[in-house]
């Protein structure tokens, strides 16, 4: 080999090849770094600030155990739906059918009990099974047929909602009837009270669900695979991740969680109504919570705790502004601002200085 | 040939419609060597590598690993058999940490109840392993093994990908254009890393367009042309110009190299 071939040895070799020292980035840089490693930090700060803000504004009326636990009760359905939505969005998908699945499964739990005389616990299990099956259909269409999740779940939303009206013949099952004949359907509405604070089982299920999913996403191989699939599916495949299996498990689990939200709905509303607004706006509410929670719509980034905080932020604004006597439109306006701000922060976090 | 090749392909054929990407191609990788595979664009280098690493299934022909016939249906199967491939795209998840990426698809669980029933990952063990492997290969001074891969430079990422392959590739490591996206200085480090891996006894297949890099590290050079092995040359006996001439068909290969 001639001398001219060695031109590259001219480059010095003494630079560190893989030194991972933190660059001196100043306060903002450290903050940036902290946000990068803990994506749930921003919504937590916003949540705490909102609670303190309304606390100063409204005093003990707002900072009472009653009011604070009322927020939890008001967000329990959206909170559970947001957990399902988080899983889907982490895989770089989106699920427009979450609310519709919740309503249909609540109708199934009610109608199976009242129309066919099936014991309520069995009807609940059937409802959970139907939710899981609907999730499996979406998951299969996304993973195997390679249709965009937006399209699949847009269609699924319409199909499920229409099936819900057709099957129920638009009949509502009254709360009194449920109380008298199938109280098990109201199980998620059972209230536990301590010193003015009221927790329903639905609230406790929501919190447990978020904690369990946070553990699974962070500390199990399955969770790491969910993030990897959302980040770059081809890379995940080449690295040895079962991408199809991961997507199927995510969509099925999301469907199951939506059905759980359906059960929570019966506890919250008392009655079983096929025209519950959750069917129409549940998807947008869940996406709002997830986005405010700092989860990237591009997939692979964010934490489910953030989505939970996002749901709580919406709840705090709703109750706080209502107690302050503001026009409810202010709530929507502020939530709109929060959504845009959250995505702007997400973009800033993703901008990585190397 | 007296030494039994560790990885051997015989009569490999792969067609895509009317295009024949591999035309009765042979391939031999000897123990402990760095074998460079060079060829013009479209010569079928990638198809050859994919055929021996399980990424495509050849239409005809056989692949032998350590003398035993193997039929890989996916890169995962090849990996399980000890063949690690570092793809040009590196196959890493940018938002996840170095440790997460090194163990992607083969995570370690905690022993006992927490691993078995709670399926909890053994993060300390994985971090220790990742740190050890990176230091072993001279990718030293790592302070934060939990740093996201996207915060690393191109060369550092390549380094982590090579370390991942070296850590788990017990028999063969395939590197696809490892220096293509790198600057001069980073390329140099990656070449040193390749020699380092070789010194640990693991044979390497190096696919590259960069003749100076190929001639610097390769023990033998497999020249690929028109879907088959044209010849295997010794970089000490031929010049880069010769190699390019064989590759492009401007010059006939030496008879003894064709027989090899």
- The pLDDT of residue A343 is 87
d(CA A225, CA A280): 31
B17 pLDDT exceeds 60? yes
- When pLDDT is cut at 50, 70 and 90, the band that residue B258 belongs to is low
Q: Which stretch of A8-22, A33-47, A299-313 has the lowest confidence by average pLDDT? A: A8-22
Q: Which residues of B touch A224 (CB under 8 A)?
A: 96, 100, 104, 107, 121
d(CA B171, CA B83): 6
- The pLDDT of residue B141 is 54
- Tally of structural domains, chain A: 1
Q: Which stretch of A103-112, A322-331, B138-147, B155-164 has the lowest confidence by average pLDDT? A: B138-147
For residues B217-230, give the mean pLDDT: 91
Q: CB contact, 8 Å: B37 with chain A?
A: no
Q: Which residues of B touch A36 (CB under 8 A)?
A: 148
The verdict on a CB contact (< 8 Å) between B76 and A9 is no
- The pLDDT of residue B142 is 56
- The pLDDT of residue B209 is 87
A53-66 residue pLDDT tens: 999 999 889 999 99
Residue A109 included in any domain = yes
Q: Give me the domain span that covers residue A136.
A: 41-346
Q: Which residues of A touch B72 (CB under 8 A)?
A: none
- The pLDDT of residue A142 is 97
The DSSP 8-state label assigned to residue A270 in this structure reads S
Residue A257 included in any domain = yes
Residue A19 included in any domain = no
The verdict on a CB contact (< 8 Å) between B95 and A18 is no
Q: Which residues of B touch A235 (CB under 8 A)?
A: 89-93
- The pLDDT of residue A18 is 47
Domains of chain B, each with CATH number or no CATH: 7-92+151-259 (3.40.50.300), 96-147 (no CATH)
Residue A25 included in any domain = no
Residues A286 and A292 sit within 8 Å (Cβ to Cβ): no
Residue A196 included in any domain = yes
- The pLDDT of residue A194 is 85
Residue A5 included in any domain = no
For A4, what's the count of Cα atoms within 13 Å in the CB-facing half-sphere?
A: 4
Percent of chain A surpassing pLDDT 90: 77
Query: Domain of A330: which CATH number?
Result: 1.10.3470
Phi, psi of A193 (to 5 degrees): -120, 135
Strand partners, B85: B174
d(CA A342, CA B9): 54
For residues B185-192, give the mean pLDDT: 84
B115-139 residue pLDDT tens: 888 889 988 999 888 888 888 777 6
- The pLDDT of residue B259 is 52
Phi, psi of A326 (to 5 degrees): -80, 155
Task: Tell me the nearest-neighbour CA distance from A17 into chain B, angstroms.
Answer: 7
The verdict on a CB contact (< 8 Å) between A300 and B93 is yes
B48-106 residue pLDDT tens: 988 888 888 999 999 999 989 999 888 888 888 999 988 888 888 888 999 999 998 88
Is B222 in a helix, a strand, or coil?
A: strand
Average pLDDT, chain B: 86
Q: Which residues contact A147 (CB under 8 A, 6 or more apart)?
A: A141
| Count of other CB atoms within 10 angstroms of residue A58 | 17
- The pLDDT of residue B184 is 83
Chains A and B form CB pairs within 8 A to the count of: 137
Work out the angle at residue A277's Cα, subtended by the Cα atoms of residues A206 and A308, and round it to the nearest 5 degrees: 25
Higher pLDDT, residue A17 or A179: A179
Q: CB contact, 8 Å: B150 with chain A?
A: yes
- The pLDDT of residue B256 is 64
d(CA B176, CA B88): 5
Higher pLDDT, residue B43 or A284: A284
A213-249 residue pLDDT tens: 999 999 999 999 999 999 999 889 888 899 999 999 9
The verdict on a CB contact (< 8 Å) between A18 and B150 is no
d(CA B242, CA B69): 34
The verdict on a CB contact (< 8 Å) between A232 and B93 is yes
């Amino acid at each position: 080999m001639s001398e001219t071939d060695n031109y590259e040895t001219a480059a010095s070799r003494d630079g560190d090849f893989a030194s991972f020292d933190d660059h001196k980035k100043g306060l903002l840089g450290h903050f940036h770094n902290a946000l990068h490693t803990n994506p749930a930090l921003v919504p937590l700060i916003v949540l705490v600030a909102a609670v303190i803000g309304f606390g100063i504004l409204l005093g003990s009326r707002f900072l009472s155990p009653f009011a604070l636990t009322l927020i939890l009760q008001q967000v329990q359905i959206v909170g559970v739906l947001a957990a399902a939505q988080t899983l889907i969005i982490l895989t770089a998908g989106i699920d427009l059918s979450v609310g519709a699945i919740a309503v249909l499964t609540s109708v199934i739990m009610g109608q199976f009990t009242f129309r066919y005389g099936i014991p309520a616990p069995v009807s609940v299990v059937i409802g959970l099974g139907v939710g899981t099956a609907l999730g499996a259909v979406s998951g299969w269409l996304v993973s195997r047929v390679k249709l965009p999740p937006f399209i699949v779940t847009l269609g699924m939303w319409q199909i499920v909602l229409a099936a819900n009206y057709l099957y129920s013949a638009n009949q509502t099952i009254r709360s009194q009837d449920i109380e008298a004949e199938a109280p098990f359907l109201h199980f998620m509405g059972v209230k536990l009270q301590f010193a003015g604070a009221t927790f329903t089982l639905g609230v406790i299920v929501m919190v447990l669900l978020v904690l369990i999913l946070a553990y699974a996403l962070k500390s199990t191989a399955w969770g790491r695979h969910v993030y990897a699939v959302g980040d770059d599916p081809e890379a995940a495949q080449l690295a040895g991740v079962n991408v199809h299996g991961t997507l199927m498990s995510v969509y099925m689990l999301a469907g199951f969680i939506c059905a759980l939200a359906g059960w929570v709905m019966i506890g919250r509303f008392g009655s079983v109504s096929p025209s519950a607004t959750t069917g129409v706006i549940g998807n947008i509410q869940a996406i709002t919570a997830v986005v405010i929670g700092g989860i990237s719509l591009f997939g692979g980034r964010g934490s489910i705790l953030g989505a939970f905080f996002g749901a709580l932020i919406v709840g705090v604004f709703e109750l706080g502004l209502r107690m302050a006597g503001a026009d409810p439109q202010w709530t929507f306006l502020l939530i709109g601002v929060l959504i845009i701000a959250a995505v702007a922060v997400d973009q800033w976090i993703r901008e990585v200085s190397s | 040939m007296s030494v039994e090749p560790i990885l051997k392909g015989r009569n490999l054929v792969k067609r895509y419609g009317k295009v024949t990407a591999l035309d009765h191609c042979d391939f031999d990788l000897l123990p402990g060597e760095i074998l460079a595979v060079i060829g013009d664009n479209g010569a079928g280098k990638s198809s050859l590598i994919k055929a021996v690493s399980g990424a495509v299934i050849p239409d005809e022909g056989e692949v032998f690993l350590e003398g035993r016939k193997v039929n890989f249906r996916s890169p995962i199967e090849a990996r399980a058999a000890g063949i690690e491939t570092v793809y040009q795209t590196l196959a890493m998840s940018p938002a996840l940490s170095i440790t997460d990426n090194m163990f992607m698809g083969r995570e370690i669980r905690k022993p006992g109840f927490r691993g078995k029933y709670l399926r909890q990952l053994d993060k300390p063990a994985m971090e220790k392993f990742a740190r050890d492997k990176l230091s072993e290969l001279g990718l030293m001074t790592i302070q934060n093994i939990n740093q996201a891969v996207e915060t690393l430079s191109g060369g550092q990422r390549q380094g982590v990908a090579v370390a991942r392959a070296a850590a788990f590739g017990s028999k063969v490591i395939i590197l696809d254009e490892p220096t293509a996206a790198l600057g001069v200085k980073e390329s140099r480090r990656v070449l040193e890393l390749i020699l380092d891996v070789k010194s640990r006894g693991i044979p390497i297949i190096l696919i590259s367009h960069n003749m100076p890099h190929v001639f610097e590290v390769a023990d033998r050079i497999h020249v690929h042309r028109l879907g088959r092995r044209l010849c295997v040359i010794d970089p000490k006996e031929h010049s880069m110009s010769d190699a390019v001439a064989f590759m492009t068909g401007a010059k006939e290969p030496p008879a003894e190299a064709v027989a090899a």
